[in-house]
Chain A
Amino acid sequence: MTVMSRADQRLTPDVVQSVTFPTSRLGRRGFDEDHVRVFCKQVEAELVRLLNERTSLQEEVRRLRARVLGRVAGDSGPGYRREDAHIQAVGILSKAQMTADQYVADAQEYSRQLAEDARRRRDEILSEARAHAEMVMEEAHSRGSQAAHVALVEAAGSPSSSQRGELEAELAYLRTFCDVYRTHLRAYLDALLRNVDEWEKAEQSAVSEVPGQLPAVLRRVAAPVARPEI
């Protein structure tokens, strides 16, 4: 059985008995933390459910016992009791509250995962871009110094004034070439950063939805995840 199953699936003793956790990624020891955490959540939810059931059963027992005792004492009808109705209403409201709590927790967990993912991908893109930029700069640098070296060797061989003029022109050209390369690189990096910004803006508009409502992206996704048991 995979542990990453839905939170509303009932947990049975045989599931607990047969559960397996995948071992974690390289460089870490033990079970994968996320899997264990999800499983603990499931166990916790199941316990809460069992406790709920137990409390309402106890309530039922008490009510039935009272009714039986009432009959014995000569009270003919079961009768409608206001107290019972209130306790039942408390039970219903409690269930509704638990459902709401679960929805909020699921939405928060989902947004946590999204944000974590976005953060990781942002780091990846930036470090790739940095590596790429360094490579390009190095290449440009080595080409530039090669050209300068060739020019110097040639200049040393026959230092006529016309040749010197040519070499100076070539050096100027190389400098311009370097600048152009740098500008290109900057534009490339800027574009990447803009990309990152756009993600952020999308996320921002998702967060700034009307209060009391889940962000659109969460509304769409949270509902199926958190469907309560019927």
Chain B
Amino acid sequence: MDPGCLRDSFARVAMHGDQVALFFYSDLFLRHPETRELFPVSMAAQRDRLLNALGQIVADADKLDRLAPFLQGLGRDHRKFGALADHYGPVGESLLATLAHFSGDAWTPELAAEWNAAYQLVAQVMTDAAATDARRNPASWDATVLSHELRTFDVAVVRVATVQPLYYLPGQSVALEHPLRPRLWRYYSMANAPREDSTIDFHVRMIDGGPVSMALTRATDVGSWLRLGAPVGTLMLDTHSGRNVLLVAGSTGLAPIKALAEQLDGLPNPPTTHLFFGAQRAEGLYDLPALEKLAATAPWLHITACVFDDPRFAGERGYLPDIVARHGPWNGYDAYLAGSTTMTDATANRLVSLGVPDNQIHIEDFGWSEP
């Protein structure tokens, strides 16, 4: 395999941008119509993902130590989409047809052989990882909705029970598929430490125009079925640091933070912990009673509720990062932040400027932003 040759070839093809992925999927669906079922109606996001993944694979083609884990993750990840080992052949066929189409005269039998060898390797690593994973875990977990509470007009707390046990660490999240929005997967954090009865809570905030979040907040009832992917995420409690703990949650960023707080509660000697929970308005503090209940039996846990824009709120008012900074110093603390990108970025910056080392700051960025 010649990584340089593949890179040059891919650069020529990638010039055509979205067209490449468009051609690839049309070719695949025409040759193997049954594969269309595996994808959502709109393919726009899917095409971006394909090109990005291909770009990364080609860029790292000679760095196997980086490429292998990426491909293994990709292989495992595709199980929940219903991808089977049998699909890899057709995909390879269409991929080569696409490369040939956009390479024009530069497509030679030698180049075709290079690409074919590279694809076989990629497919092998992905299917191997998927097969290994299949020995331990289902492709996805079916879950039934036990309760659905609309806490504010745009935040719902959904409790589900999985049919098969789902093992995860507090702070992790899963991709979630709603029956009304087939083949659209969105990540949500588990909002509790694992329970004996294998029930899981999710905190869902309705994003304006977000197809999955709208279905989850507005069109989900007790008895609805959801599908969950394998747990992912790196917001994990460092239980050996010996430091105190600072937890900062903006809106439904509370979900992983609450799971961490519950995990701390289960430790024999929980460290002193400060939890800041912020919302735009007082009504957005949708889970404050549960936090206060937890704090009532946990002398190590201190809770500060903050509201950004509500002059009638009696507690802390202002921008969450400012309020957190005001309550410092936090040098001796491990900080865990979850919420909108703007909030987590700003808080991390404030903490760094207050002298908290980078490696003590752990972030779960929810992707959405908020003024």
The answer to whether A binds B is yes
Of A52, A90, A108, which contacts B27 at CB under 8 A? A90
Query: Contacts A51-B16, A104-B42, A207-B218 hold; do A97 and B181 have CB atoms under 8 A apart?
Result: no
A75 at the interface (CB under 8 A from B): no
Complex formed: what's the CA distance from A196 to B42 in Å? 32
B41-A212 in contact (CB<8A)? yes
Q: Are B214 and A207 in contact (CB under 8 A)?
A: yes
8 closest Cβ pairs, A-B complex: A112-B209, A208-B219, A104-B42, A115-B208, A93-B26, A204-B218, A90-B26, A94-B26
- Report A-chain residues with C-beta under 8 Å of the C-beta of B154: 119
Residues of A within 8 A of B104 (CB): 58, 62
Q: A104 contacts which chain B residues (CB < 8 A)?
A: 41-42, 44
Contact A211 B179 (CB under 8 A): yes
- A93 and B153 contact, CB distance less than 8 A: no
**Alpha-carbon distance A97/B211, docked complex (angstroms):** 19
Residue among B17, B42, B104 having the largest count of chain A Cβ atoms under 10 Å: B42
Other than the known A97-B22, A97-B26, what 8 A-B pairs have Cβ atoms closer than 8 Å?
A: A86-B30, A89-B26, A90-B26, A90-B27, A94-B26, A112-B209, A203-B218, A212-B41
Shortest CB–CB separation between residue A121 and chain B, in angstroms? 12
Residues of B within 8 A of A225 (CB): none
Would A211 and B19 count as touching, CB distance under 8 A? no
Chain A: interface secondary structure?
Answer: helix
Please report the C-alpha to C-alpha distance between residue A87 and residue B30 in the assembled complex, in whole angstroms. 10
With most chain B CB atoms within 10 A of its CB, the pick from A94, A116, A130 is: A94
Q: Write out, one digit per residue, whether chain B residues 14-28 have a CB within 8 A of any chain A CB (1) or not (0).
A: 001111001101110
Of A48, A100, A116, A204, the residue contacting B208 (CB under 8 A) is A116
Min Cβ gap A87→B in Å is 7
Across the interface, do A52 and B19 meet the contact criterion of CB distance under 8 Å? yes
Q: In the complex, are the beta carbons of A115 and B26 less than 8 A apart?
A: no
Query: For residue A115, which residue of chain B has the nearest CB?
Result: B208
Q: Are A93 and B219 in contact (CB under 8 A)?
A: no
Complexed CA–CA distance, A89 and B101 (Å): 14
Name the B residues within 8 Å of A51 (CB-CB): 16-19
Given the interface contacts A115-B209, A211-B181, does A101 sit within 8 Å of B17 by beta carbon?
no
B42 pairs with A101, CB closer than 8 A? yes
**23 A–B pairs (Cβ distance < 8 Å), ordered by A:** A51-B16, A51-B19, A55-B16, A87-B101, A90-B27, A97-B26, A100-B43, A101-B44, A108-B211, A111-B208, A115-B208, A116-B208, A119-B208, A130-B312, A200-B218, A203-B218, A204-B219, A207-B219, A208-B180, A208-B218, A211-B181, A211-B182, A212-B41
User: If A122-B153, A200-B153, A211-B181 touch, does A90 touch B208 (CB 8 Å cutoff)?
Assistant: no
Asked if A98 is an interface residue, CB under 8 A from chain B, the answer is yes
Report chain A residues within 8 Å CB of B42: 100-101, 104-105
Tell whether, in the assembled complex, residue B25 and residue A97 are in contact, meaning their CB atoms are under 8 Å apart.
yes
For residue A43, give the distance in angstroms from its CB to the closest CB of chain B: 14
Name the contact of A93 in the complex, choosing from B19, B30, B180, B211 (C-beta under 8 A).
Answer: B30
Instruction: Determine the chain A residues whose CB is within 8 A of the CB of B19 once the complex forms.
Output: 51-52, 55
Residues of B within 8 Å of A108, CB to CB, are: 209, 211
Scan B176-209; emit 1 where CB is below 8 A from any A CB, else 0.
0001111000000000000000000000001011
CB distance from B8 to the nearest CB of A (A): 20
Q: Which residues of B contact A130 (CB under 8 A)?
A: 312
Residues in chain A near residue B209, CB distance under 8 A: 108-109, 111-113, 115-116
Residue of A nearest to B29 (CB): A93
In the complex, what residues of B have CB within 8 A of residue A119's CB?
154, 208
Residue B215 at the A interface, CB < 8 A? yes
Most buried by B among A98, A105, A196, A207: A207
Q: How far is the CB of A13 from chain B (nearest CB, A)?
A: 21
Contacts of A212 in B (CB 8 A): 41, 182
Residues of A with C-beta under 8 A to B41? 100, 104, 212
Residues 269 to 308 of chain B near chain A (Cβ within 8 Å): none
The A39-92 residues at the B interface (CB cut-off 8 A) are 48, 51-52, 55, 58, 62, 86-87, 89-91
Contact with A along B320-340 (1 / 0, CB 8 A): 000000000000000000000
Distance in angstroms between the alpha carbons of A204 and B218 in the assembled complex? 5
A55 to B15: give the CA distance in the assembly, Å: 12
Rounded to whole angstroms, the CA-CA distance of A165 and B43 in the bound complex is 81
Closest B residue by C-beta to A52: B19
Q: Are A115 and B153 in contact (CB under 8 A)?
A: no
Does A105 lie within 8 Å of B153, measured CB to CB?
Answer: no
The CA-CA distance from A200 to B27 in the complex, in Å, is 43
Q: Are B30 and A97 in contact (CB under 8 A)?
A: no
Task: Report the minimal beta-carbon distance from B107 to chain A, rounded to whole angstroms.
Answer: 12
CB nearest to A97 among chain B residues: B43
In whole angstroms, how far apart are the Cα atoms of A196 and B154 in the complex? 12
CB distance from A203 to the nearest CB of B (A): 7
Q: What is the distance, in angstroms, from A195's C-beta to the closest C-beta of chain B? A: 12
Closest Cβ of chain A: how far from B100's Cβ, in Å? 11
